Amino acid sequence: MAAPALDTVQSPCLKVCTLNPADGLCRGCGRTLSEIANWVAMTAEERAAVMAQLPARLAAQQAKG
């Protein structure tokens, strides 16, 4: 299965919009407030770069409890 085109990188928002004060990341999607606010203005490449970081961010949050 081919990867989606970069211009179709959709928001990872899960509608669980709560920022963790310890690391500043959303507990739902793992993005920073800046990334959330600027998502619509980001290029597809910028969105893809953020998306690539999310699994590690969310795993780190989960490990910290």
Q: Is 26 part of a structural domain of the chain?
A: yes
Is residue 19 helix, strand or coil?
strand
Q: Rounded distance, CA 35 to CA 62, Å?
A: 20
Q: Which domain holds residue 58?
A: 18-64
Q: Is the pTM of this model over 0.85?
A: no
Q: Is 3 part of a structural domain of the chain?
A: no
The model's pLDDT over 7-49, given as tens digits with 9 standing for 90+, comes to 679 999 999 999 999 999 999 999 999 999 999 999 999 999 9
Q: Is 57 part of a structural domain of the chain?
A: yes
Q: Is 58 part of a structural domain of the chain?
A: yes
Residues 6+ apart with CB under 8 A from 31: 12, 25, 39, 50, 54
Q: Rounded distance, CA 29 to CA 45, Å?
A: 18
